Structure 1
Amino acid sequence: MDGILFHQLLQLHNMLSAKFPVRDVDIRTLAINLEINMFWDGLFHVFTWIMTAIGIAMLWAAVRRSDVPLTTPTFLGSLSLGWGLFNLVEGIIDHHILHVHHVTETSGHLIWDLTFLAAGLVLILLGVWMIHHDRPAPENQTAGSSGIT
């Protein structure tokens, strides 16, 4: 999602755009910097495909367990949780700790970076909520019961 939407379609948020800018530079520098950013975006996509393969393996293992509900809300909640965690971790590390890129390479990039983190948090909360509300109540507790005997 991040690579397709931000990197390719909106042409923002390239992996090393803070170090090798593609805005407000001469044409020769632009060409070199675009090549560098394209290469590192490609490595980013390789990494995300590896993580996708690992996620599919984890999904395969989960559907074989009897304690994992095989429902659309749990599946969509898990996707949302994963996307949110990825954006939060990537945003903190790349945008705020390493400063290798920002959502936009403009003077007002902080608001965009914070919005990106906030969107990650919203996805995490949505995913946790969807997963939690899809779980059946424990058998030893009924509605209105405190569970104390």
Structure 2
Amino acid sequence: MTVQAKRKFLIIGSFLMGFGTLGALDGIIFHQLLQWHSVVMETTRQGQIMSDGFFHLAVTITLIGGGLVLWIAGKPTDVTRGVQLLIGSFLIGGGVFNLLEGIINHHLLQIHRVKPGDPNALLYDLGFLAIGLGLFLAGYVIYRYARNSYVV
């Protein structure tokens, strides 16, 4: 496999792992431990559990896919600035999860909020988006540094 192909697999796999990890953390922390919300709130408890189950299944598939792509990529150290690409792409993936989930589910579709029923629900939603933006920007800075330092 060429170094270019390894770089692409490393970036894609890391992105998927970051996306899936933040999805898993969202499900574990907000859905299960804190029990603040489910994917679909306006349904029966059984419906909430099922919607969360489908969410966890999708997140698990994403994590498995990311792991397989990273396995195909090989060792990050085989690629110039591979570790930085891995970290940057992982953070970008996590940030994209938070931004997409927050914008689509919390604001556009309004199927749930981070902490529904709380008088400060909007602040929780905005904090969720801020964390996503922070992860994305940190990842982008690391990723750009690694890309700009790349020597063919």
- Common fold by TM > 0.5: yes
Paired residues of 1:62 and 1:68 also in contact (CA < 8 A):
no
Alignment correspondent of 1:9: 33
Unmatched runs of 5 consecutive residues or more in structure 1 = 21-32, 141-149
Paired residues of 1:63 and 1:70 also in contact (CA < 8 A):
no
Please state which structure has a larger fraction of its residues in helix: 2
Percent pairwise identity: 37
Unmatched runs of 5 consecutive residues or more in structure 2 = 1-24
Match for 1:62 among 73, 79, 88? Answer: 73
In the alignment, structure 1 residue 133 sits paired with structure 2 residue 145: yes
Amino acid in the other structure paired with 1:50 = I
Deviations 1:40-89 (A, max 9, x none): 10110001011112212332343379656332x33232221111101111
Greater Rg by CA: 1
* Residues 67 and 9 of structure 1: CA distance in aligned 2, closer, same or farther (over 3 Å): same
**Normalising by structure 1, what TM-score?**
0.72
5 Å-filtered alignment, 1:44-63, equals: 44-63=55-74
Amino acid in the other structure paired with 2:121 = H
- C-alpha separation between the residues in 1 aligned to 2:56 and 2:72? 24
Paired residues of 2:80 and 2:151 also in contact (CA < 8 A):
no
**Normalising by structure 2, what TM-score?**
0.71
Tell me the number of residue pairs that the alignment of Structure 1 and Structure 2 aligns. Answer: 126
- C-alpha separation between the residues in 2 aligned to 1:51 and 1:125? 22
